Structure 1
Amino acid sequence: MQIELKELERKDYKKAIDFAVKGMHFNQYIENKKELYLYGKYFLYMEMQRATQMVAAYMGENLVGLVLADVKGESKRYQSIGKGLYVKVMELIMKVIVKDPVSSYDKANKKMLQEYKENANLDGEICFVVADPTIQGKGIGSYMMKELERREAGKRLYLFTDSNCTYHFYEHRGFERVGSQDIMLQLGKKEVPLTCFLFSKRMVGENEVE
């Protein structure tokens, strides 16, 4: 079935959350299913609040993938009071109750980005990339990234990922690994070893050669 690219429909928010939870393996950090869904919702809403570009992939009426990017000089078209309030409440809960267990993750990403910016001019961030984990080999992720490259041709974008995700996908799409850092997430009594990665690429337009 042909892939159609368009805006994310509100009815598919829950499906996008499910893709993020499974594709980014949030279940390794959060065991309770309700808390897992609430965190996935927080993650989607947080990135939608930042996004200036959205590429949602559909097969028929079914959402099969989503890419969000935050590019300098472009308007943030997906913000809303409701999403913003939800993000703020969740951040307060995580800070007060959970004691911000992913701070080491954020610190690693911040350090890598600061070091990379010393020698690179960046135009924006690809902040959310998910695809239906039950559908493989259809080129959904590549199709969405190609559309983003068409829209942002000539701009250098970066993204964060980690060893718990399918980071090799970006290497196969021409992204350069420009930073990496090993960390240990402390989740209560549980420790999760992880490698954080920073990737970057100058977006290639239709008339350019990668």
Structure 2
Amino acid sequence: MRTLPVLLTRPRADALRLADELRAAGVQRIEVSPLMRIVATGPLPELSGGIILTSGNAVDTYVELKGPKGLPTWTVGPRTADRARAAGLDVQGTAPDAEALGQAIPETAPPLMHLRGAVARGDLAVALRARGLTADEAVIYRQDGIALTAAAADLLRIGPVVVPLYSPRSAELFFQACPHTAYGNLRIIALSPAVASASPVPPVEQAETPDGSAMLRAVLRYFTTMDG
């Protein structure tokens, strides 16, 4: 059953990384059709303390905008932390989601700037200020929608297809692009309860924790269930 196709709709760089991991695990059919293009909107604000990066897209945009290295940094998810370290940032801590990070950052942290996309859930800076920390936010990129490729549209029409969804925004874009007549073909893998709630098709699997490694395991777990 690992011949069942997987449709990856993440921004291209993330989708290609995931495709490599899936192929290494024996998944044979993968179609990459990004539904979101990350566009830097910069410039960066003045950074006098620490920064918060809640996604790999934020890290990549920070690097693209030539952000300074060495700043104390807090992240969501271990993969974001790894990318931040690779970018030369001093990762002080990480948490599985933004809500948890808002409670995990210590009161001794320097003034913080949350560098985020135009579409985001919650308000991390407000949560930190409510705890007495100095925190602000700046939008440094936007998430533009892209149409499905013809090959992806064919997969949805022809038969069952596994679709990992990583955010409520990606779920929204996907179901805007996916015809209702194809809903019965979808095998949705959701990153989190928030993503599951944004999907009109109930997920067949959900990641144990909201991070990339857990999502990879969730996709492979579904294939193992089908193989069993």
Coarse TM-score class (shorter-chain normalised) = under 0.3
Q: Which has the higher strand share?
A: 1
- TM-score, normalised to structure 2, is 0.25
- TM-score, normalised to structure 1, is 0.26
Rg larger for: 2
